[in-house]
Amino acid sequence: MLNALTVDVEEWFHVCGVPALDPACWENLPSRVDATTRLLLRLCEQTDSRATFFVVGWVAERWPQLVADIRAAGHQIGSHGHLHARAYDLGEAGFAEDLRASIAALEATGARPLCYRAPEWSINDRSLWALDAIARERLTVDASMAPVKIVGSVRYPRTPHVRTTAAGPVLEVPPLVADRFGQVLPIGWGWGLRSSAPAAVLRTIERANQAGAPAVLTVHPWEIDPDPPRVALPLRLRFAHYFRLSGFAGRLREILEGARFGPIDAAVASSHSLLPAS
């Protein structure tokens, strides 16, 4: 079965809710996104993997050739918002505006996004109206609802499912989780992915596939930066951004070599996991 590799194409300083990293400061910070995303493109090429690259609109405006090169390498382009803000911080009208700006920025590079991923998994019970805006913009896939506590909810389905909205259906494709010691571990992204042994991740992927569902992994270019810049972050964000970055590129290579990965829509199409509309 084909699994989904997803890449959130953002700068190392695109961290939500940190005043020192406000968009007004971004132009003054050293950009790393072009070089580090190209490292991921090379890794995909070497492991014969394809992916959905959710690109921040602000990045697409500054690095249009990068977006064109991602597409030329056979990957899919999605939106990761325009200014990398959380949906529930933007509010309903602000979210719709940010989404439209990101689509315009991607379209200016020649891409037409059909998929969306909210920064920090910020479509949850506080912001389900965001799915209406996604459907209104004729995007068909959302991958923003994490079945874990704090950022999402352990009650959310773990397999692709259709969500009905006021503007039509949206296919929701959640990221891979695992049950460990009575907790739900984000084994498909962030600190959960970076701190897991590749063999453990591959076993979890295989279990999902045996149950008929594709596994969805998420990585960021800054996670494989050989020389990552750091700033002082609050504890939770420090963990999410900096915990066990060391050696991650090598572990990711092992994972990509151990299973088949494609863009998110192709992975869903290859499975029989679709639940009825909720």
Count CB neighbours of 27 within 10 A.
8
Pull the structure tokens for residue 167. 């503007």
Q: Which stretch binds Zn ion (CB under 5 A): 7-15, 38-46, 237-245, 256-264?
A: 7-15
Residue entry with tokens 């050293």: 30
Cα dist. 50→55, 109, 117, 219 in Å? Answer: 15, 20, 17, 13
**Residues binding Zn ion: number (CB under 5 A):** 3
Could you tell me the smallest distance in angstroms from the CB atom of residue 128 to Zn ion?
A: 20
Pull the structure tokens for residue 9. 């194409």
Nearer to Zn ion, 86 or 251 (CB): 86
Nearer to Zn ion, 62 or 203 (CB): 62
Listed in sequence order, the residues at least 6 apart from 100 whose beta carbon sits closer than 8 Å to its beta carbon are 137
Pull the structure tokens for residue 242. 């900096």
Could you tell me the smallest distance in angstroms from the CB atom of residue 72 to Zn ion?
A: 23
Could you tell me the smallest distance in angstroms from the CB atom of residue 9 to Zn ion?
A: 9
Q: Which stretch binds Zn ion (CB under 5 A): 63-71, 115-123, 137-145, 258-266?
A: 115-123
Cα dist. 198→193, 247, 258 in Å? Answer: 9, 12, 9
The helix or strand, by DSSP H or E, that contains position 57, with its residue range, turns out to be helix 57-62
Residue 228 one-letter amino acid: P
Could you tell me the smallest distance in angstroms from the CB atom of residue 10 to Zn ion?
A: 5
Q: Which stretch binds Zn ion (CB under 5 A): 1-9, 21-29, 206-214, 252-260?
A: 1-9
Q: Which stretch binds Zn ion (CB under 5 A): 8-16, 21-29, 104-112, 265-273?
A: 8-16
Q: Which of 78, 119, 175, 188 binds Zn ion (CB under 5 A)?
A: 119
Nearer to Zn ion, 22 or 179 (CB): 22
Nearer to Zn ion, 31 or 270 (CB): 31
Q: Using the rule CB under 5 A, is 98 a contact of Zn ion?
A: no
Nearer to Zn ion, 202 or 237 (CB): 237
| Cβ burial 191-208 (10 Å sphere, 16+ → b, else e) | bbbbebebeebbebbeeb
Q: Using the rule CB under 5 A, is 190 a contact of Zn ion?
A: no
- CB-CB contact of 86 with 98 (8 Å): no
Q: Which stretch binds Zn ion (CB under 5 A): 4-12, 227-235, 256-264, 265-273?
A: 4-12
Q: Which of 4, 5, 7, 8 binds Zn ion (CB under 5 A)?
A: 8
Nearer to Zn ion, 119 or 190 (CB): 119
Residue 210 one-letter amino acid: Q
Count CB neighbours of 155 within 10 A.
8
CA of residue 20 relative to chain centroid, distance: 24
What residues line the site for Zn ion (CB under 5 A)? Answer: 8, 10, 119
